[in-house]
Structure formats: structure tokens, C-alpha cells
Chain A
Amino acid sequence: MTSDLSFPERRTLIRLGAASMIVSAIPLTALADPADLTSAQRRLFGDREIKQGRVTLKLPAIAENGYSVPLSVDVDSPMTESDHVRQIAIFSPRNPIAEIVRFELGPRAGRASVSTRIRLGGTQTVQAVAELSDGSLWSGAAKTVVTLAACVVL
């Protein structure tokens, strides 16, 4: 945390201001730890191996505000009766709840491509895991730097 503010008194004031506002806007609970992420994945997919690949997750390199971050996920799949994506789950290692959203797809979807807007409690690498119709699991990830807006009030 660097500061090029010239007056220390004012810096203190701003810090205090920021701190008191943060109470009202930042999640109360501790951030999810990696254990939560693992257990969330285990709950959905059991102990099956998750391979890397076939899943492309996109997030902006910089998100201006963690309250609304655009996300899109694409899975390389022909989406036929015999070979399609069954579900895609999105996980955060830093949110209070690791599972952000879970999409259910099938051959009728035609294309395994979904987008939405999510909340992120800080800079992190978000993970997407796709389950295919053969039961295999594939994952992709994307990192985004979350700039807390100037401060929660301004």
C-alpha cells in the first residue's frame, strides 16, 4: 500500500473513513480458503480426476469493481447425444462461498458457451470445471485483478 499523499493526518482520516465503510460493504465472514474450494468440488464431482484443458474461461484482466465482473466459459465439445457437456461449475478461491454458479447443459444446448456476471471478493484465479457425458472432468482458469472502487463511498 503506497501513498503519495502529502499530509499524514489526512491519510489517517481517509484510512479511518475507508475502514468504517468497508464494514458495510465487504463480506463479513472470512474468505473461503482452498479447503473450501476442494470440498465444494468434491461435493459436486467426488474424487474423480480433473484434467486441465477443453475449458476456456474468460474474465477481464482488470475488474473495476468486484461486485460485477463479466465471465464467459466455453467448452470444446460437439454437443451431440453421445458427446456433450453435462454441467459446468465456477469456483472462487477467495469468496465466502467457493461455488459461484453451476450450469446444466445437454445435447439440446447446441453449444457449450455461457456467460454471466459474478462477484469477486478480491484478486484471484477463478476456476471452471466441466463434466462431459462420458463422466470425464476438465478445467480451465482465469485470473483477474479486482480494483476495489476508489473507496466504497466515493
Chain B
Amino acid sequence: MASIRLSVPATAKRGDVIELKALIQHPMESGYRRGSRGEAIPRNIITRFECRYDGETVFAADFHPGIAADPFLTFHTRATRSGPVLFRWTDQHGESWQETAMLTVT
């Protein structure tokens, strides 16, 4: 299961800088922990996060095991035109998920 909570304003004025937030459900298993029987728990992390809007990647991030479980991000973009804001995240195995929110620019 991979779920995400997105915070994108429904509307914005052209030229305004808007705040975007994402909270992704993921254990971000660091690979440095041991289970109850002493076995090493293998690393399992999201490695890449991207936000695309109006034809361009407006923000991206490379994650390492130092990012907390259930990664949280706040960042910004300038409202240019109405359309989808797309969030995509990819794990170390190359599996990726995406979710979009609509932004209306007036």
C-alpha cells in the first residue's frame, strides 16, 4: 500500500507563490536496524520524489535513510496556469506511484 496526503490550494492568483505539502506512507526502513530475533532488516526506502506542474519539474528530492518514516515535505511553486499538479515518488526497487491535485489559477 502506498498512500499520500497532498495539500495543494484549490485556487491561486497568477504569479503567487503557493505552498505545497506531501505526506507519504512509507516505513523508510533504514537497513541499519535488527528485528526481534537479531536479524538485519533490509533497507527499503523511497529514493526519489518529484513534483511536476505546467510542463516542468518544479521541485524534486533525493531521499536517503536519514529521512524519517512516513516522509513529509513542504515546498513552494509559483502559480502559472490552471492544471494538474503531479506528485510522483519512487522506491529503491524502481516502483513508483503518483497522485495529482487540480490547481485553478485566476
Contact = CB atoms under 8 A, between A and B. Distances in A.
A103 B68 contact: no
A101 B62 contact: yes
Contact of A103 (B40, B59, B66): B59
Nearest to A24: B34
Query: How would you classify the secondary structure of chain A's contact residues: helix, strand, loop or mixed?
Result: mixed
B76 to A, nearest CB: 4
A149 to B, nearest CB: 14
B73 to A, nearest CB: 5
A96 B58 contact: no
Given A103-B75, A113-B76, A28 B62 contact: no
A115 interface: yes
Contact-residue bracket for chain B = 35 or more
B59 A105 contact: yes
Interface residues of A, number: 36
Given A68-B69, A118-B67, A118-B68, A25 B59 contact: no
Interface in B22-52: 30, 32-36, 38, 40
B101 to A, nearest CB: 17
Nearest to B58: A108
Interface of A: 23-29, 67-69, 72, 90, 92, 95-97, 99-106, 108-111, 113-120
Q: Which 8 A-B pairs have the closest CB atoms?
A: A100-B66, A110-B17, A110-B78, A27-B32, A117-B68, A104-B60, A68-B68, A108-B58
